[in-house]
Amino acid sequence: MTDPGSGDARTSEDDGPREFVKYTFFHLRPEWRRLPEADRHAGKARFAEVLEHPPDGAVVRSYALTGLKADTEMMVWSIAPELGPIQELHARLLGTPLGGYLDTPYSYLGLGRRSEYLGDHAHGGEGSDGRRRPSDLPYLVVYPFVKKREWYGLPFEERRRIMGEHFRIGHKFPRVQIHTGYSFGLDDMEFILAFETESPAEFSDLVHELRPTEASRFTALETPIFTCVLASARRMLDLADGLP
């Protein structure tokens, strides 16, 4: 696990291949659940088929939020080396019968790259290059992140020193895996953070320990926060449809 919003927007030819990460949150309108059961069954099957067979080059995972967040029940995490497969995936989803009953209350786009403060070692889901691959742990906590502008005015070595405390705390929670998306110039936020974990309680403990650190003083925004449960496409859809 590394610091939420640990890096800055600088890039390097040594970063290696980088991929786009996209977190799309869907709300299924109540009108859908009033349709005949046969229509709902067919609509969910078509939507699930699209998720189970994404465009070439795209990696896709689905998550359920039913009962966990007021205005969203589903989340699709997509990863691709270009924006084209991500757009194609979402166009296919919206083109299904169920797509006509969906709202998108939240949507976040980022570009994966390793934190420059990590040095040469791989760490917590952020490998030796910019590729992002889910570990398929049961839970994923997702939220946007913005640093105060004062952070970027500090010398790089000072920022690296401050980040050292975050890394030391993060190493106490090796089962928490981070995926950092850099959103500078691409979306409204600076970062989109996602943490895979086997235990939401363990992740809460980690966040609690990070609160008093020096780096946390430079946090401007880290909400909304989404706790997502890994689920097959069909399971995610059934929960949103009111089928436990």
Tokens of 15: 């970063």
Round to whole Å and give the CA distance between 83 and 224.
24
User: Residue 44 is inside which H or E element, if any?
Assistant: helix 37-52
Round to whole Å and give the CA distance between 89 and 59.
10
Round to whole Å and give the CA distance between 104 and 115.
29
> Is the C-alpha dihedral spanning 231, 175, 81, 57 positive or negative?
negative
Which one from 63, 108, 143, 182 is the annotated catalytic residue?
A: 143
Tokens of 48: 């699930």
Does the annotation mark 117 as catalytic? Answer: no
18-29: b (≥16 Cβ within 10 Å) or e: bbbbbbbbbbbe
* Residues sharing a CB contact under 8 Å with residue 88, sequence separation 6 or more, in sequence order: 55, 58
- Catalytically annotated residues: 143
